[in-house]
Every structure is written in C-alpha cells, then in structure tokens.
C-alpha cells in the first residue's frame, strides 16, 4: 500500500543532510546482523537531533530495522 502526503512540503537541505546521516548510521548499525541497545539509542538521538521526526526518518528505520527483524536478517540485542 502506498501512502501519499500531497500537502507535505519538500524536504529542506538540512532535512536531506539529516536523512543522509541517519541512513549512514543505520547501515553501520545493522552491518553485523545484530543491533544493540547502544546502537538503538544512538539512532534515537540522531532522529531527535533536529527537534522533529519526519516520515522519511521513520521509513528509513522501518526499512533498515523492522523489515530485517521481521525477515530474521537482524537480531536485536537488548542487553549487552
């Protein structure tokens, strides 16, 4: 299902830079197939760094974490 947001303004240059930083952090965090509590905390900090959470940021988290966990391609290490 495709969800559209026709009234959403285009992303600013700062938003695009924020997304790029988040994507790099996500790629690094999931590279070994295990994501730790510390990595999840770092992702949360990166998302909140600009004081807002965008749909695009949530989509990246879904793509890099949730979908991989659902396919058993990524494990979450809550303690350690």
Higher pLDDT, 37 or 4: 37
Do 37 and 79 touch, CB atoms closer than 8 A?
yes
DSSP state of 8: P
Total number of residues shown for the chain = 80
CB-based contact 65:35 (threshold 8 Å): yes
Q: H-helix or E-strand containing 66? A: none
CB atoms within 10 A of CB 25: 18
**pLDDT score at 78:** 81
Task: Dump pLDDT digits (tens) for 27-65.
Answer: 999 999 999 999 999 999 999 999 999 999 999 999 999
Q: pTM for this one?
A: 0.88
Residue among 40, 29, 75, 3 nearest 56 (CA): 3
């Amino acid at each position: 299902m495709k969800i559209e947001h026709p009234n959403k303004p285009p992303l600013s240059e700062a938003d695009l830079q924020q997304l790029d930083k988040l994507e790099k952090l996500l790629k690094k965090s999931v590279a070994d197939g295990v994501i730790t509590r510390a990595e999840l905390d770092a992702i949360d900090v990166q998302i909140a760094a600009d004081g807002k959470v965008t749909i695009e940021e949530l989509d990246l988290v879904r793509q890099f974490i949730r979908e991989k966990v659902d396919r058993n391609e990524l494990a979450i290490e809550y303690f350690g």
